[in-house]
Amino acid sequence: MIGPARNVMGGVSTAVNNYYLAGLDQRVNLTYIATMVDGSKFCKLLKAIGAYVRFLTYLLRMDILHAHMSPGASYYRKKIFVDTASVFCKKVIIHFRGGDFQTFFQDKSSNAKKKIVATFAKADYFIVLSPEWKEVFVPLIGEEKLIVLGNAVSIPEKYKDSYSDHNILFVGRLCINKGVGDLLAVIPMLKRKFPDIHLFLAGVWEDEELRQTATDLKEEVTFLGWLDRHTLAQYMEKCSIFVLPTYYEGQPNALLEAMAMGMTAIATAVGGIPQLIEDGKTGRLITPRDVDSLSRGLKELLADEKLRSQLGTAARERVKERHGINQLANELYRIYKLCHAKAVYPNSDRGNE
């Protein structure tokens, strides 16, 4: 399996760590090779080169390459691994993540698009995070290889039992595309009606102007940095509302974790988010790039403690039912078995069971 280092600040590393929590490495002979680390471009380059060298040492012994791939630099890094595995007739699973594939793909020349599709065609199975993303990829690679497999999280035994506060939590990359600018714009307006409102931002700044805006709102906004699992759980208990006004998305682990904790979730209806939130039943869906929609949604939740409790409780039950970590591990194990059957019985139908 290849992907970012397990301590990298991001959703893919969270997902990989969840596989280990579920004991996937106890069910298969799993070697994880980190292809990217946080840091300078030079550090990233050295890590990618070292990862490829290590990958080559395992190549003849491995059966399956499971590549976590996202638009942008991640695609180009993983393409080399996918191409090499394909040359050596190894089975390939591409697990596509990240929510801005359309922009990445549409900006390319016709020749570059053909090369991307050719890389995808080397996968024996192509995993996407939601039915919406399946519809995006069907025209490129057909339906036969596509598998929808949403993200999953461990369900905490301890969860929210109070919704009396007006605290709001955001977790993710702190940038324009995550809707952070919209969020900072509505907080001063909401404070006039809810004087005790407070926004907690957990993540890494990617926009200096947004950082300055947040600093100017220090009475209403607290920057937490990137949080470990234990500290994040503490803030999820402290805050009633989880907000994600993102412009595009795959299927965010942080949103799943918040819902599993019983937080009241409000997020934009993009990517795989509508698969997690049923508007008015397990959370609130809003329109991306729409400050008024965000403001109205937050105002509704802030004004009604009973509604926050109902939505949060229902969200937790939804995640328990559909996105438990053991369910994910079982499905991945099934996909690995299908791949292995294709490798052992290449000319039979057993690989399509």
- CA end-to-end distance (rounded Å), the chain: 23
DSSP letter assigned to residue 162 = -
Domain boundary assignment for the chain: 2-152+325-352, 167-322
* Tens-digit pLDDT profile for residues 47-84: 999 999 999 999 999 999 999 999 999 999 999 999 99
pLDDT in tens, 266-320: 999 998 899 899 999 999 999 999 999 999 999 999 999 999 999 999 999 999 9
Record the tokens describing residue 192, joined without a space.
């006039």
Quote the radius of gyration of the chain (alpha carbons, Å). Answer: 21
CA-CA distances (angstroms) from residue 323 to 95, 216, 251, 287, 329? 17, 38, 11, 24, 11
Q: What percent of the chain has pLDDT over 70?
A: 97
- CATH for 167-322? 3.40.50.2000
- The reply to whether 2-152+325-352 and 167-322 are identical in fold is yes
pLDDT at site 100: 81
Res 349: pLDDT: 52
Task: Please state, for a pLDDT cut of 90, what percent of the chain lies above it.
Answer: 77
* Model pLDDT for residues 166-203, shown as the tens digit of each residue: 999 999 999 999 999 999 999 999 999 999 999 999 99
Residue 353 has a pLDDT of 47
CATH class for the region spanning 2-152+325-352 = alpha beta
